[in-house]
Amino acid sequence: MSILVDKNTKILVQGITGAQASFHVQRALKYGSKIVAGVAPNKNDKTYLGLPLFGSVNEAAEKTGATASIVFVPAKYAKSAIIEAIHAHLSLVVVITSGIPVRDMMEIREELSKSSTILVGPNTPGIITPQEAYMGIFPSDFHQKGKIGIISRSSTLTYEVVLEINQLGFGESTIVGLGDDLILGSNFIEMIKLFNSDTDTDAVILIGGIGGNYELEIADYYSAIDFKKPIFALIQDDFSLLSQNVGLASDIMCRGISSSEDKRKILEKAGICVVDTISSLKEKLAELC
């Protein structure tokens, strides 16, 4: 088992004809992802990369049985593409697009709350279940099948973590890139729930990101549940290096908790193993064996 995506997941691609999308779709097909259709307005009845093209998500899903979509549509048009996928009742939508306006994401979240669709991203490398399938832009050669679930808000750091833990002999059940943006379709908690009931996952690694209260939410959730798998959270220092705050409101919104030190303490109190570097993550994981 795994979560969200496996070799049987039927996938369609929105915005398939773009250069980046074409490049990554071909690689994903080679990897084993069951991509069955592309959606491109006004290109109905044509084929592309050997896949049938449809004018709408609804039609593509109906004719091919696809239940999941990867969105490569440019930021300006991403909102309508994503809402179209939600309205078509797809169970999973993975948004690779970066640079979607904040207001558009807020409206997307509003639509999402009225549906049962799971949205992952935007600005994410996607989801990969090693040696089965992926939805997104993963380099295909360095994930190993295994028992660790990974949920991440930092794309590049995910690759680094995977490389390092694989050297220890670990592998991954599924890796979910939540995305590097501030407004996300899914949060850590939703994914922890899925990993918690996945028999192939023994432990979960969380990789924190910049801004928002996503990491703090986990503490409230995790300390309240009974059955839980071990969680390791990588929370880095010095996020202030990267943000250029001018207002005060964002600090107020973080409950006055601005330093990563405070974030760590709150997570530790909830029973989560918190580390600040990849090397200490490796040490803690080694103890798990």
Partner 1 sequence: MNIHEYQAKKIFKQFGINVPKGLIAYTPLEAKEVAEKVSEFGPWVVKAQIQSSSRDAGRFSDKRAGKKGGIRLSKSLDEVFDNADDMLENLLVTNQTGAKGRLVSRVYVEEFIKTTKKFYLSLVIDWTVASTVLLVAPISDKDDENIIQIASDNPERILKVNLGLQKKINSEQLQQIISFMNMPVEVSILKSFLNKMLNLFYTCDVTLLEINPIGIAKNGNIWALDAKIVFDENALYRHPEIPPLFDDSEIEERELIASKFGFQYRELESGMGIIVNGDGLALSTINQAKQIGLDTACFLNLKGGVDRDKIAAGIKLIMTNPGVDGIFINILGGFSRCDLIADGIITVANDLGLNIPLVARFEGTNKDEATAILQKSGLPLAIASNTEKGLLLLKNAIAEDI
The residue ranges that bind partner 1 (CB under 8 A) are: 20, 24, 75-76, 96, 98-107, 109-110, 125, 136-139, 142, 153-160, 163-164, 180, 182-184, 187, 207, 209-214, 217, 236-239, 241-242, 245-253, 255-257, 276-279
- What dihedral do alpha carbons 146, 149, 151, 154 form, nearest 10°? -30
Which positions ≥6 away from 206 have C-beta within 8 Å? 150, 151, 152, 188, 192, 215, 218, 231, 232, 233, 234, 272
> What are the φ/ψ torsions at residue 106 (nearest 5 degrees)?
-65, -40
Q: Which residues make beta-bridge pairs with 167?
A: none
User: Closer to partner 1 at the Cβ: 224 or 249?
Assistant: 249
| Smallest distance, partner 1 to C-beta of residue 266, A | 13
Specify whether the CB–CB gap between 125 and 70 falls below 8 A: no
Of 217 and 268, nearer to partner 1 (C-beta) is 217
The answer to whether residues 219 and 266 touch, using CB atoms and an 8 Å cutoff, is: yes
Q: Closest separation between CB of residue 199 and partner 1, Å?
A: 28
The least CB distance from residue 134 to partner 1, in Å, is 9
Please report where in the chains the tokens 């801004």 appear, as a residue: 211
- Please name which of 221, 223, 218, 197 lies closest in space to residue 208, comparing C-alpha atoms: 218
- When the beta carbons of 13 and 53 are compared against partner 1, the nearer one is 13
Cβ 193 to partner 1 shortest distance, Å: 17
Residue among 249 and 289 whose Cβ is closer to partner 1: 249
Residue 54 or residue 72: which is nearer to partner 1 going by CB?
72
C-beta of 125: minimal distance to partner 1 in Å? Answer: 5
The residue to which tokens 């009742």 are assigned: 89
Question: Nearest approach, Cβ of 14 to partner 1 (angstroms)?
Answer: 17
Cβ of 140: how many Cβ atoms within 10 Å?
15
For partner 1, give the closer residue by CB, 4 or 137: 137
Phi and psi for 151 in degrees, rounded to 5?
-125, 125
DSSP string, 134-202: EEE---TTS--EEEEEEEES-HHHHHHHHHHHHHTT--EEEEEE--SSSS-SS-HHHHHHHHHT-TT--
Question: Nearest 5°: phi and psi at 185?
Answer: -70, -40
Minimum distance from residue 264 beta carbon to partner 1 (Å)? 14
Indicate the residue among 116 and 243 with the shorter CB distance to partner 1. Answer: 243
